[in-house]
Amino acid sequence: MIKHRQARFKWSMLCLFGLLLLSCVLSLNLGAVAIAPKEVFQTVLGNGSARQELILFQFRLPAIVLAIMVGAGMAISGSILQGITRNELADPGILGINAGSGLAVVIYITFFQTAVGGLTLAGTFILPIFAFLGALLTGALIMVLSWRKGIHSSRLILVGIGINAGLSAFIIALQLRLEPNDFVKAMVWLSGDLWASQWQYVWALLPWFIILSIFALLKAHTLNIMNLGSQMATALGIRSLRQRVILLIIAVALAGLGVAAGGGIAFLGLIAPHIARRLVGPKHQLLLPVASLMGAIIVVLADTIGKNALSPTEIPAGLVVAIVSVPYFLVLLMKSK
Amino acid sequence: MTTLSAERLTIGYEERTIVQDLDLDFIPGQITAIIGPNGCGKSTILKTMARLHTATSGSIYLDGKMIHQTPAKEVAKKLAILPQAPEAPDGLTVYELISYGRTPHQSGFSLLKKHDREMIEWAMNVTGLTDLQNQAVDTLSGGQRQRAWIAMSIAQETDLLMLDEPTTYLDLAHQLEVLQLLERINQEDGRTIIMVIHDLNQASRFAHQLVALKNGKIVKQGSAEQVMDPVVLKQVFNIDTEIVADPRTGKPAMISYDLIK
């Protein structure tokens, strides 16, 4: 079955890749202005009208690239967190990393922004940086608080859940002081809206995402061994504490990037690795690529559905993910032993 | 042959000292069984000597070099340890698990080379798991699962193999199966085996050397004949024992015992 599993991996990758392409085409042709698949292809080949080109290349394509990046990043982040904690319920949302990032954003909106004018040009660039720093600070806080002669998995999760609750309370306290307009903006951000769908953001975030993902893939085998527990990891010559800190930093940074670009998309880091594990098993060389494709598909579809289902009202992608994944999650919990 | 020894080893958890000033030496190429009552520190000593637990003071020498000053990977090429009741993630196959044993020999992206695959094949063969290689570890029976973990540890290709209660939770036949497997690895492959074990008769039958511990101190170290002695066992377990020569193996065996009031 090693061969079998390799084959399964190849098939999964192929199918998921096809599915991702299909979602992208769907996302490209749906919207306030519908562009038929045939026209999409013609435009991609350079035969579209100026208006079609504008809509496809300046509005919809960056949104898709961003959705793929956020989805894949969150999925990898969740896979890593689940691997090092040996707990399939760990994900950046549950550990409070998304909340930390969200709090940074709300603080920014509350204290540094003029209420009426909305986000200034400088503001649009500083906002993701705030979100990213918020995630990193929260990650550091979780590490420091769960440190007791090393980092123990269950302690890490409990501290994370505590921090999540604390930060969420903070966010609400701050939000209540906001002007109605800003309140709505903060709310939409927090529920996971892919707002940064312009090429400038994509170019700012994409290099980091690529570097971190490659780094995560290089650490796949270390994750496999950490998954056997810290004693077994030491027995096999892996310096588990050091590796755990490195992997935690990668996971937090990827989540931070995701939140910076798309707000806190809950459950994604949990669901995507879960489905991937059912497809190709727990070996991270296979799991990480499949999970990241899975995550990308989920966000692209969620974004498309969110933009079109109740058109002209747009639902944040994060809410769509939550609506779809909560039932899946509950079924999973009921089925598990 | 790799040697392992401890000098003036003191080990404790938090405030409680479990072992004080222990000197311990293992004979290379032999099977050593560590016996003793619950809480005497046998597992703690095993784990500490395999650097899974840090000693309060004292030194551990692997091939004459301090184990904590040797790179983690170098240690893992010489010494394999199987802790008690390890857990594999759901869905991990037997082959995948065994292949993880090659970790210290691999570099970078962890691709399996020809020699790695040969060692995995050998480990599967010796443990009789070849037919089960594509099954998920969590679907195996207790005995099969323990064999899979042992296969992973022997695929690590180390001179020294340490096991913490490798027969716990297994029924009699499976206990014997595991011990015979270890005996075979020791005889055919010349590996040094050090294990913590509860059953005195099994220790006597399979080990060349027994270490009897009480309260973190060695009461007696030597052959089965020297350690399976009513005086020693009284001191270690506080029991009154009846020892005879096992009619099948000739080794000392305990046929009955009573608590000493």
**Could you tell me if B133 lies within 8 Å of chain A, comparing CB atoms?**
yes
| Contacting residues of A for B74, CB less than 8 Å apart | 237
* Domain boundaries, given as residue ranges, for chain B: 1-78+158-224, 87-157
> How much is the pLDDT for A32?
67
Q: To which H or E segment does residue A29 belong?
A: helix A2-29
Measured in degrees and rounded to the nearest 5, phi and psi for residue B10 equal: -120, 125
What is the spatial distance between Cα B81 and Cα A232, in angstroms, rounded to a whole number? 8
Please give the average per-residue pLDDT across B176-201, as a whole number: 94
Cβ separation of A234 and B72 shorter than 8 Å? yes
| Contacting residues of B for A2, CB less than 8 Å apart | 93, 95-96, 133-134
> How much is the pLDDT for A117?
43
Q: What is the dihedral of CA A323, A325, A331, A333, to 10 degrees?
A: -120
| Contacting residues of B for A220, CB less than 8 Å apart | 110
Closest residue, chain A, to B152 (C-alpha): A236
DSSP-assigned beta bridge partners for residue B243: B254
Please give the average per-residue pLDDT across B70-95, as a whole number: 93
Question: Are the beta carbons of A130 and A105 closer than 8 angstroms?
Answer: yes
What is the spatial distance between Cα A135 and Cα A100, in angstroms, rounded to a whole number? 5
Question: Are the beta carbons of A88 and A274 closer than 8 angstroms?
Answer: yes
pLDDT in tens, A254-287: 998 888 887 778 789 999 999 999 999 999 999 9
* Cβ neighbours of residue A184 closer than 8 Å, sequence gap 6 or more: none
Structure tokens that stand for B46 in this block: 């095993």
Q: Return the sign of the alpha-carbon dihedral for residues A197, A311, A44, A52.
A: negative
What is the spatial distance between Cα A201 and Cα B48, in angstroms, rounded to a whole number? 51
pLDDT in tens, B133-173: 999 999 999 889 999 999 999 999 999 999 999 998 888 99
Cβ separation of B93 and A281 shorter than 8 Å? yes
Question: Are the beta carbons of A202 and A135 closer than 8 angstroms?
Answer: no
Please give the average per-residue pLDDT across B100-115, as a whole number: 87
> How much is the pLDDT for A124?
65
What is the spatial distance between Cα B27 and Cα B4, in angstroms, rounded to a whole number? 8
- A110 class by beta-carbon count within 10 Å (0-12 exposed, 13-18 middle, 19+ buried): middle
Question: Which residue among B51, B93, B156 sits closest to A234, beta carbon to beta carbon?
Answer: B51
Question: Are the beta carbons of A127 and A101 closer than 8 angstroms?
Answer: no
> How much is the pLDDT for B108?
65
> How much is the pLDDT for A317?
85
Residue A214: CB atoms within 10 Å: 10
Q: What are the start-end ranges of the E strands in chain B?
A: 4-13, 16-25, 31-35, 57-62, 65-66, 79-82, 160-164, 192-196, 209-214, 217-222, 239-245, 252-259
What is the spatial distance between Cα A265 and Cα A316, in angstroms, rounded to a whole number? 9
Residue B176: CB atoms within 10 Å: 15
Cβ separation of B89 and A221 shorter than 8 Å? no
Global ipTM: 0.90
Question: Which residue among B72, B91, B108 sits closest to A237, beta carbon to beta carbon?
Answer: B72
Number of residues assigned to chain B: 261
User: What DSSP assignment string belongs to B27-87?
Assistant: -TTSEEEEE--TTSSHHHHHHHHTTSS--SEEEEEETTEEGGGS-HHHHHHHEEEE-SS--
| Residue A101 CA, distance from chain mean position | 12
> How much is the pLDDT for A2?
52
| Residue carrying the six token digits 């956020």 | A70
Cβ separation of A5 and B106 shorter than 8 Å? no
pLDDT in tens, A3-45: 578 888 999 999 999 999 999 988 888 876 777 777 777 887 7
> How much is the pLDDT for A192?
73
**Could you tell me if A238 lies within 8 Å of chain B, comparing CB atoms?**
yes
| Contacting residues of A for B109, CB less than 8 Å apart | 218, 221
Q: What is the dihedral of CA B140, B141, B147, B152, to 10 degrees?
A: 30
Q: How many contacts (CB atoms, under 8 Å) link A and B?
A: 81
DSSP A147: B
Closest residue, chain B, to A85 (C-alpha): B89
**Could you tell me if B96 lies within 8 Å of chain A, comparing CB atoms?**
yes
Low-confidence ranges of chain A (pLDDT < 50): 1, 114-117
Structure tokens that stand for B207 in this block: 């080990």
Q: Return the sign of the alpha-carbon dihedral for residues B221, B75, B165, A148.
A: positive
What is the spatial distance between Cα A14 and Cα B33, in angstroms, rounded to a whole number? 52
CA distance B21 to chain A (A): 23
**Could you give the 3-state DSSP secondary structure of residue B213?**
strand
Right CATH number for B1-78+158-224 from 3.30.413.10, 1.10.3720.10, 3.40.50.300, 3.30.56.10? 3.40.50.300
Domain A1-335 bears CATH identifier 1.10.3470.10: yes
> How much is the pLDDT for A179?
78
Question: Are the beta carbons of B109 and A221 closer than 8 angstroms?
Answer: yes
DSSP B132: G
What is the spatial distance between Cα A329 and Cα A267, in angstroms, rounded to a whole number? 9
- How does B228-248 read in b/e, with b if 16+ C-beta sit within 10 Å? bbeebbeebbebebebeebee
pLDDT in tens, B18-66: 998 999 999 999 999 999 999 899 999 999 999 998 899 999 999 999 9
- A121 class by beta-carbon count within 10 Å (0-12 exposed, 13-18 middle, 19+ buried): exposed
| Residue carrying the six token digits 């020297």 | B226
Please state, in angstroms and as integers, the Cα–Cα distance from residue A182 to each residue in A97, A174, A189, A329, following that order: 22, 11, 10, 32
| Contacting residues of B for A227, CB less than 8 Å apart | 89
Q: What is the dihedral of CA A294, A296, A298, A304, to 10 degrees?
A: -150
* Domain boundaries, given as residue ranges, for chain A: 1-335
